[in-house]
Amino acid sequence: MNRRNIKWLPILIAGIFFAYQYFSSEKFVNPETGRKSHVGLSTEQESALGLQSYQQVLAQAQAIEAGPESEMVKRVAARLASATGTAGRGFDWRESLIRDNQVNAFCLPGGKIVVYSGILPIAQGDAGLATVLGHEMAHATSRHGAQRVLQQNLAQTAMTGIAVSLSDMDYDKQRAVMGALGAGAQFGILMPFGRQHESEADRVGLIYMARAGYDPRESIRFWERMERSSSAQPPEFLSTHPAHGQRIQQLQGWMPEALEEYRKATQR
């Protein structure tokens, strides 16, 4: 085997392992959007990691366990959990309100929800809170975390194969090449993948809130309030989150479907 072939051998081996990782991974179909994907974790692994992270957050935070704000979080989360249907089946839904001025909320895999009190003034009530919680719960039911694990594993496999094939290159040149490839993977693959997840969570979350009996048009008003409260945003291509204007435009496009769900929910 000549030296040129030896240089390509690590890439070939990495390619075979890449294909094995992808095609042997679990397939998942989002029941709301029909989008097909592959995931890098089982539902049991997701739930275990989600519970571990949830316990770590609560151990370092001051939870608000009673009062009207806590009751609102519990009420909205319960209605949304019922609206997730088959996607949320098997989830152990729990919610906690944290005393913290951060404008933030998230839902961990398996259904562990954390709301920071700083987001409540922007939510301005149940429907506003349903907007953000529906979005975060949609990330969990859509298994976005498990999809990202597989995507990152695949990227790491590819980068490792290339790095080994370049091992006899001058160190500075090797760093430059790997840096360029890393940036290309980040901006060309991982970040667009993240934006796809954000848009899917917006769409599915909109359906959840409408199905739970919350007016989906409040989602537009919520994101408008978020836009007014936010500092300057990075350009959309540098962020995994869509710009507020782009997000609102997408929500308006999905609104007819959401309003039909809302009509059905309010006529029961």
Residue-level pLDDT, tens digit, the chain, 268 residues? 444 544 666 666 666 756 767 677 789 999 999 999 999 999 999 999 999 999 999 999 999 999 999 999 999 999 999 999 999 999 999 999 999 999 999 999 999 999 999 999 999 999 999 999 999 999 999 999 999 988 887 777 766 655 555 555 555 554 544 454 444 444 444 444 478 899 999 999 999 999 999 999 999 999 999 888 875 454 333 345 667 778 889 999 999 999 999 999 999 7
Q: Reduce the DSSP state of residue 29 to 3 states and report it.
A: strand
Rounded CA separation 158/238 (Å): 23
Phi/psi at 103 (5° precision): -90, 85
Q: Which residue has the tokens 């259904």?
A: 111
Q: Model-level pTM?
A: 0.79
Chain mean position to CA 223: 17
Q: Which residue has the tokens 């085997």?
A: 1
**Contact in structure between 122 and 105 (CB atoms under 8 Å):** no
Rounded CA separation 26/169 (Å): 38
Query: Can you give the pLDDT at residue 9?
Result: 63
Query: Can you give the pLDDT at residue 227?
Result: 84
Query: Can you give the pLDDT at residue 203?
Result: 97
Rounded CA separation 159/81 (Å): 39
Rounded CA separation 96/63 (Å): 7
Rounded CA separation 150/146 (Å): 7
Annotated active-site residue in 32, 136, 200, 261? 136
Rounded CA separation 228/250 (Å): 18
- CA geometry: angle at 20 spanning 16 and 22, to 5°? 120
Is 260 one of the annotated active-site residues of the chain?
no
Q: Which residue has the tokens 């848009």?
A: 199
